[in-house]
């Protein structure tokens, strides 16, 4: 019934409206009097109620409705743009995927990339920054240890050995190479100071052994042209002999007076010049020579023994190798003295003065004789005729002195000193 009425009222409608069908079904069930009397009132009341609802809705929600209307108008522009952006995105996704794969292949752990290598190096430097700072502080620390007085040579050389170990472990590192060069400069300064200390005229045996021991650890081959085991003893000899020669050169004024006296003796036909200036020069010369030659030879003997005892003698040579050239030091010193005596002793004419000078030479020969360098027999080569009588006299006096001392000791009670 309702569908027929709906088709009758609107023949052009193709789709049925459920609300209209419900209302038509409601009207079909009402009597005719009710449709004439109450239905218009109900429709008017419902229309008024809807009007009030629409007015309330427009009052409270007019702004969202206006904005919605505006947005619906803008949809005509935004929807085509959205479609275009979606199309662009669909085209860019494959390119993005290919770029992501390329990035993954380029910066993977298995790939060799310069950027990754630099980043890894920077990260490694950051992680080892404290160690690098500690390594860079080694040269200033070594320099400070060298310049500190007194120098702790053991700690300084241990620190230098640590730097050398670093240089052997990392030979291609520019940083380690720079640190090694600065450490070498500091150690060369310490070696220079040690060599200067060897030139001291009052150097003792213990101090000389310690100094040469430190030099042995620092520079095993300071002097060229000699075997390594003889390098530091040779260096010590250079310093000590240089000191002796400088002290003997300080006698230049006395030597000039002795030369003038010899020249006057050569021009004079009479022996009026007794050789007082020559005597002064020879006595002072022998005094300095005796003191410093004995100390130099004794220290050298101990220093050389400390080196030769640690030498590697693995070669079975029944004839033994020839001694080194520096072992001829006593002969060189004796030759210096004999040449001076040969030149100036004939100018001393006074017999007592000659005996006094020869007595000094006798004591000097005895001192060096304790080191195996007695040169008493060589005086005959310079024409000293009274040397034999002087030696006999001193030996006779020494024998008498020993006899007196023996008799005195035998006369003491048991237990007496």
- Tell me the DSSP string of 62-86: HHHHHHHHHHHHHHHHHHHHHHHHH
Note the pLDDT of residue 345.
83
Give the count of domains, the chain.
Answer: 3
List the domain range (segments joined by +) for residue 329: 210-266+273-309+325-410
Report residue 107: phi and psi, to 5°.
-110, 25
Residue 57 falls inside a structural domain? no
Task: Give ∠ CA 227-229-230 in degrees, rounded to 5.
Answer: 70
For residues 235 and 359, state if they share a domain: yes
Query: Which residue, among 203, 366, 356, 207, has the nearest Cα to 292 in the 3D structure?
Result: 203
pLDDT at 309: 46
Pairwise CA distance, residues 227 & 229, whole Å: 6
Is 214 in the same domain as 248? yes
For residue 46, whether the previous peptide bond is cis, meaning omega lies within 30 degrees of 0, is: no
CB 384 within 8 A of CB 358: yes
pLDDT at 303: 60
Tell if the pTM clears 0.75, that is, is over it: no
Q: Are residues 253 and 395 in the same domain?
A: yes
Residue 127 resides in a domain: no
Whether 82 is covered by a domain: the verdict is: no
Q: Which two tokens stand for residue 405?
A: 């001392």
Locate tokens 């030696």: which residue?
A: 391
Task: Give the pLDDT means over successive 10-residue stretches in the chain (417 positions).
Answer: 69 72 77 78 87 85 83 84 91 90 76 76 86 88 85 85 88 89 86 77 67 70 45 62 78 86 73 73 87 75 56 51 61 84 83 82 80 74 68 64 64 47
Instruction: Based on the fold, state whether residues 337 and 246 are members of the same structural domain.
Output: yes
For position 84, what pLDDT does the model report? 92
Cα atoms in the Cβ-side hemisphere of radius 13 Å centred on 250 = 8
């Amino acid at each position: 019934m309702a569908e027929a009425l709906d088709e009758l009222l609107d023949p052009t409608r193709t789709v049925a409206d459920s609300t209209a069908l419900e209302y038509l079904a409601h009207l079909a069930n009402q009597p005719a009097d009710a449709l004439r009397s109450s239905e218009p009132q109900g429709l008017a009341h419902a229309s008024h109620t809807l009007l009030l609802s629409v007015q309330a809705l427009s009052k409270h929600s007019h702004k969202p409705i206006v904005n919605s209307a505006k947005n619906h108008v803008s949809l005509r522009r935004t929807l085509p743009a959205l479609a275009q952006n979606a199309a662009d995105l669909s085209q860019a996704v494959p390119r993005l995927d290919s770029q992501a794969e390329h990035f993954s292949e380029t910066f993977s752990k298995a790939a060799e990339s310069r950027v990754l290598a630099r980043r890894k190096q920077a990260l490694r430097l950051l992680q080892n920054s404290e160690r690098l700072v500690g390594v860079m502080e080694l040269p200033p620390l070594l320099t400070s240890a060298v310049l500190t007085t007194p120098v702790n040579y053991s700690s300084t050389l241990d620190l230098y050995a640590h730097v050398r170990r670093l240089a052997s472990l990392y030979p291609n590192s520019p940083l380690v190479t720079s640190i090694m060069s600065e450490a070498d400069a500091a150690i060369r300064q310490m070696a220079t100071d040690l060599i200067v200390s060897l030139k001291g005229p009052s150097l003792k045996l213990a101090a000389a052994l310690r100094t040469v021991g430190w030099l042995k650890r620092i520079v095993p081959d300071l002097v060229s042209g000699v075997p390594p085991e003889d390098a530091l003893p040779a260096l010590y000899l250079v310093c000590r002999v240089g000191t002796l020669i400088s002290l003997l050169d300080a006698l230049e004024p006395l030597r000039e007076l002795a030369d003038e006296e010899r020249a006057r003796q050569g021009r004079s036909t009479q022996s009026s010049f007794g050789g007082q200036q020559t005597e002064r020069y020879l006595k002072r010369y022998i005094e300095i020579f005796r003191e410093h030659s004995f100390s130099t030879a004794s220290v050298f003997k101990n220093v050389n023994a400390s080196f030769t005892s640690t030498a590697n003698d693995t070669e079975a040579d029944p004839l033994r190798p020839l001694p080194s050239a520096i072992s001829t030091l006593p002969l060189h010193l004796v030759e210096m003295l004999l040449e001076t005596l040969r030149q100036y002793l004939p100018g001393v004419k006074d017999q007592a003065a000659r005996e006094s000078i020869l007595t000094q030479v006798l004591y000097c020969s005895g001192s060096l004789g304790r080191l195996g360098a007695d040169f008493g027999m060589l005086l005959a080569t310079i024409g000293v005729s009274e040397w034999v009588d002087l030696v006999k006299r001193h030996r006779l006096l020494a024998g008498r002195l020993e006899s007196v001392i023996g008799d005195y000791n035998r006369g003491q009670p048991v237990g007496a000193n």
